[in-house]
Chain A
């Protein structure tokens, strides 16, 4: 119906908008390849013409332990989040305990609490229990970022599982646990993936909890690695940006392999009720 030329015009405009929007990301990559001596050049090189891998070499030398810690924290947070949220959501959606409306509301509110405030509360508790500056402590704190979201997503999804499916399993002689393990869990695979990806990303990106609960720790995540970097050597911006590029990899992977889940995740909390 519409002329083909008009479609191209929109594509062109869209590309321009996207390019403007992603310019900071491009700049991060560009700077990460820039040589030290070109760093303060004015005007700057718009493309990494004299590209160097100095920055990345510095990352490999100095930042690997941080990356490892972040990986452990991320995976630990995913495991803990799933272990808590999946059974909780199952019971909310299918077993319908008393007070589920209140619980749902509390979960929404829980997402609104500023991280700084949670951090202070955790700081006091962790200090008393001795898990301050440890990786398990950080995992527990990070899981609070994802659990409310996870429970809301899982509950919404599991409510949609047809009752007949569960009844059929029961008729076949499966108990509540067996039904959950062999029927509910496989059917919910997509939502499990969505939640895991987000839980990992949030734990990976977390700065507030890391900087408060792990600032004196022996094992610190990559967000603190970058932060120390900025504080310590203001000159080596190629190394800082190289670390930033590497720290962005999980986000990029997430976007590539799970595009549709991501958009679903963003809107799930907002548009659904």
Chain B
């Protein structure tokens, strides 16, 4: 196991850090004798005109996705806590978007959002709204990929939050009901605080997954038009693989920055958890 971890995680990661620290060209990549340039690739990336927008898009994409996924997921989880006819079947069907290959959901969304013949614009036209260039307008492409990502992320939030809700003993609710708490009060004063640990882990995992999202954006818009939906993940891919002349160095540097961001949040979470455990 240790050997496997070393061979297939640590070594690629090491190669990746190594890539980010050297000045690679196609030839030196094959021969493996690229000069060591220290943090030059990082400096280059941070000063690049794409860096600011890409970082901002990553933040918007992640925060908006998480907010909607979590809220809708929680609302649905609450809805499903009362068992009713077909509730188990419907809950299982909700998993479908999460299980579909990302290329399937992304290409379906990109056809639905197609400017001339997409079903979304057809619906908008039916209620009298002008068609929107979802994927080809710089104002909308980031929102389009965010919408698709929210759709894909809802099932995960639903299932995890649902199992979190199931773990709250029902007698607590009954006690609150006896004390005269209304539905809203019960949710905000009882359910929500008790659900906090599960919410935290859901949001953390959601954050980590959302930061990584590449497939959806790449397939739907390739980060375009003119970088309007480029995030750090797609930028890293484009630098490394998207051009005829790959620039692995900067690509790897962007990717490593992404790992650092994810790790920071992971550590914040672990510290918060520790403090709660101590208190």
A residues near B (Cβ < 8 Å) are 7-8, 10-11, 13-15, 17-18, 21-22, 24-25, 27-28, 31, 39-44, 84, 87-88, 91-92, 103, 106, 109-125, 127-128, 140, 143-144, 147, 151, 201, 204-205, 207-208, 211-212, 215, 223, 226-227, 230, 237, 240-241, 244, 247-248, 251-252, 254-255, 259, 262-263, 266-267, 269-271
Contacts and interface: CB of A to CB of B under 8 A. Distances in A.
Contacts of A103: 1-2, 5
B164 A271 contact: yes
Given A204-B101, A215-B241, 5 more contacts: A22-B93, A114-B211, A120-B255, A226-B107, A230-B107
Contacts of A212: 237, 240-241
The residue among A39, A116, A208 with the most chain B CB atoms within 10 A of its own CB is: A116
The residue among A28, A91, A117 with the most chain B CB atoms within 10 A of its own CB is: A117
B32 A128 contact: yes
28 contacts: A7-B84, A7-B85, A10-B87, A15-B90, A25-B96, A28-B108, A41-B117, A44-B117, A44-B119, A44-B122, A91-B1, A113-B9, A113-B259, A117-B252, A121-B12, A121-B15, A121-B19, A124-B29, A128-B32, A147-B8, A223-B101, A237-B111, A241-B111, A248-B100, A251-B100, A262-B92, A269-B205, A271-B167
Interface stretch (B35-43, B46-54, B151-159, B177-185): B151-159
B56 interface: no
Interface in B123-154: 125-126, 151, 154
Nearest to B12: A121
B55 interface: no
B99 interface: yes
Contacts of B202: 270
Contacts of B219: 207, 227, 230
A47 to B, nearest CB: 13
B104 A121 contact: no
A8 B85 contact: yes
A223 B103 contact: yes
Given A40-B116, A266-B156, A211 B241 contact: yes
A114 B258 contact: yes
Given A7-B85, A267-B159, A27 B233 contact: no
A128 B214 CA distance: 26
Contacts of A259: 92
Contacts of A255: 92, 95-96, 99
Contacts of A88: 1, 4
The residue among B5, B94, B97, B208 with the most chain A CB atoms within 10 A of its own CB is: B5
A205 B108 contact: no
Contact of B97 (A24, A106, A211): A24
A24 B258 CA distance: 31
A141 B202 CA distance: 27
B105 interface: yes
Interface string B1-41: 11011001101111110010000000001101000000000
Contacts of B2: 103
